[in-house]
Amino acid sequence: MKQLLLVFLGGGIGSMLRYLISRTFNDFFQNFYLGTFIVNIIGCLIIGLVFGLSLKNNFLTQNQTLLLTTGFCGGFTTFSTFAFENHSLIKAEEILHFSFYTLSSITLGILAVLLGFWLAKLIH
């Protein structure tokens, strides 16, 4: 039961923060969803850092890792919104924007996870 509450708490905080960031930044550029992009890249960085820290000498407990990864990152990041936004770009025949948004999100997301693991190694 405690683990379910941790996921619930982390997910709620992540979802609220995602909403605020998306609401603030999604209108900055036409045909590029900056808010969703920001939360997904930051979420990738956080999950890499958290998993990196949890693997390193038990720096984080299992419950802390669950709260931050499945809970917070699960609520904060959003693949379904990313997929819907890509659908909207394709429907609007914005193939160049679709390509840039998709490739940059995937590439930078993976690089952010790697950066998180690398940063975890630096923490003593």
Token pair recorded at residue 55: 């693997």
Residue 102, marked binder: no
Sign of the C-alpha dihedral, residues 46, 15, 74, 37?
negative
Residue 11, marked binder: no
Angle (deg, nearest 10), helices 95-122 and 79-91: 160
CB atoms under 10 Å from CB of 45, counted, come to 21
State the binding site: 74, 77
State the binding site for Na(+): 74, 77
